[in-house]
Amino acid sequence: MIKVTLKDGSMIDIEKGTLIIEVAKNISSGLAKKSVVAKLNGELVDLKSPIEEDSTLELVLLEDSESFEVLNHSCAHLLAQAMNRLYPGTKFGVGPAIEEGFYYDFKVPGVITAEDFPKIEAEMKKIVKENISVNHYFLSKDEAKAKFANDEFKCELIDAVEGTDLVGIYEQGDYADVCRGPHVISTGVLKNFKLLSVAGAYWRGDSKNEMLTRIYGTCYPTEESLNKHLNDLEERKKRDHRKLGKELGLFMISEFGPGLPFWLPKGYQLRRTLEDFWLDLHRKNGYVIVETPIMLSKQLWEISGHWDHYKEDMFITNADEEEYAIKPMNCPGAILVYKNDLHSYKDLPLRISELGHVHRYEASGALNGLFRVRTFTQDDAHILLTESQISDEIERIIKIYDQVYSKFGLNYHIELSTRPFDNFIGDIKVWDKAEEVLEKVCRATGKEFKINPGDGAFYGPKLDFKLRDSMNRIWQCGTIQLDFQLPGRFECTYIDENGEKKTPVMIHRACFGSIERFIAIITENYAGAFPTWLSPVQINLLPVLASVQGEYAHELKKEFENHGLRVKVDDRNEKLGYRLRESQMQKIPYTLVLGDNEVKDHTVTYRKYGTQAQITVTVDEFIKMIDEEIKNN
């Protein structure tokens, strides 16, 4: 007999080799039915896994957050089984769980569109009703390649398995897949799913490879949670920043410059307000502001390592018989700024910040409004400091991030992205030290984090700040990267307290990440109804009759503008109701109606966006009210 310690701390004795599902049934048949997978000694495993030694066991139930990824990974297999039945000759790429669902890549004999989804979903539902058992076993690589001999994609994945000759196989009836799992116990668990969209995707994300058909879907533990998510998706369509950007006159993208946004007057004002907020915050926190060239010599990018590690994503040109690259990052420029002067330990930390305009050669198929562009502005800072200053400085940065994200009503979690599995520079021991420092700082500040293996920059590990918006979506924005490599490559030095030359450490950090992307995020987060302090137009003045109250409207416009407010007058020859509705559609925070009484009493009647109430106050009272609102936001 062996001992199993359950989540509540109680212990039970079982026979060695007992399956987890049998243990669950012995505890409670109801509990077993609600279980999706289990944590055995902290590791997620199938319910059919045997327990071979004294262990800790925690059952993961349908309502637990950890079940979501397993449900969706399993539902990807459910989709693949349906495709295997409906489209003979289909070959199978990969089908992972993603943030809000899953996808699977197929090579299909024919064309799949969203019109085919009802047929595919019907077959998936049929397989769910069949309640087919999902079984896991291992084959040698040779055996696995023989089993999948007719699918070159699976054979390539089998060849890519490292460190073992054994390949995990998951099989459910007439379908099998190469997979590590874990998965649900049977297809009957996957009742609440929906296929969402179809797109093209290159095999293994490489544009040199074959284009496959990618089908996206999602699976939820209950019908209610699925319907809520589908309703959220419909709401997101209304909030699409590309749609709102056009309706509100924020930005445009021309066919003459794919991925190169044009900022229209109101969009530029929004961007300028955001940048002014950034500049003010950084000056108050001891940062110096610089601007570095947009294009620099190939030699610089060779020293930094970008030429070897990032060349394919850079725009390159020639001048004076020499190659130049338009910068994809700002860090080498910041290093040259540092090297322009001699520094002692008393100068450090030196916080060099820049709203740096960068360009990256993104694939045309990946471009997506302001989310994915070929030119953007990074709110970069590069901090040169001593090793002893690292922890305090990162804590200081996190406080700034807290201040910024709370300003926009955004929550976040942190991921520690560790050394890439390949394509990195520097000694592994230095990487280990850097990762340990980041982990300790997170713990010291009370910030929870999870490990994101292999996703660090090529020069150092990083803390990635994943923002959650009002629609429950996750966005990668802020980052703090700890770099022991580039300062040495550029021979950066400072004089320590003993008069000796030392190499500083560098922290790369960005809070918004990209001004363009951040504007897209907050546009959707606010559904275009920006808070008053940020709104491109804060006040819209509507004279009832332009010929009667127009002069008063323009007098108020001047008075408000002298007070630093952003104002427009809508005195078109249109009915007041029409202009009032349009002001609401433009999501302007305050619409002021001006009639005879307002002119006579020097008052305004305002209506705040999203409300029906119309309130009359004196001009001085209105200015005081709006000043307080802007100050407190």
With CA atoms as reference, report the closest residue to 362 among 324, 310, 301, 313. Answer: 313
H or E, element range at 509: strand 505-510
Assess whether 331 carries a catalytic annotation. yes
119: annotated active-site residue: no
Catalytic one among 462, 509, 587, 607?
462
Q: Any idea what DSSP says for residue 49?
A: P
CA distance 184 to 18: 18
Q: Are 56 and 25 in contact (CB under 8 A)?
A: no
346 is catalytic: no
Residue 431 C-beta-side C-alpha neighbours within 13 Å? 21
- Exactly one of 183, 214, 271, 360 is catalytic; which is it? 360
Q: What whole-number distance in Å separates Cα of residue 100 and Cα of residue 402?
A: 25
- What burial letters (b/e) apply to 352-388, b meaning 16+ CB within 10 Å? bbbbbbbbbbbeeeeeebbbbbbbbbbbbbbbbbbee
Catalytic, 85? Answer: no
Catalytic entry in 116, 379, 380, 469: 380
Reading the block at residue 293, the tokens are 């060239």
Task: Please say if 508 is a catalytic residue.
Answer: yes
First to last CA, the chain: 63
Distance of alpha carbon 587 from alpha carbon 266, whole angstroms: 12
- Cβ neighbour number for residue 532 with a 10 Å cutoff: 18
Choose, from 382, 517, 568, 587, the residue flagged as catalytic: 382
**Amino acid of residue 355:** L
Q: How far apart are CA 490 and CA 339, in angstroms?
A: 9
Q: Which of 521, 31, 124, 197 is nearest to 6 (CA)?
A: 31
Residue of 331, 442, 492, 511 marked catalytic: 331
Considering the candidates 378, 389, 481, 549, report the single residue annotated as catalytic. Answer: 378
What value, to the nearest 5°, has the Cα angle with vertex 280 and ends 277 and 284?
140
The reply to whether 172 belongs to the active site is no
Per-residue burial over 183-201, b = 16 or more CB atoms within 10 Å of its CB, e = otherwise: bbbbbebbbbbbbbebeeb
CA-to-CA dists, residue 372 to 362, 481, 511, 516, angstroms: 8, 21, 17, 9
CA distance 155 to 440: 42
Which residue of the set 306, 508, 517, 568 is catalytic? Answer: 508
Residues linked to residue 168 through DSSP beta bridges, in sequence order: 138
d(CA 65, CA 472): 14
Rounded-to-integer distance, Cα 213 and Cα 211, Å: 7
The torsion region of residue 9 among left (phi > 0), alpha (psi -120 to 50) and beta comes to: left
CB atoms within 10 A of CB 506: 28
Residue 382 bears catalytic tag: yes
| Catalytic positions, written as ranges | 331, 360, 378, 380, 382, 462, 508
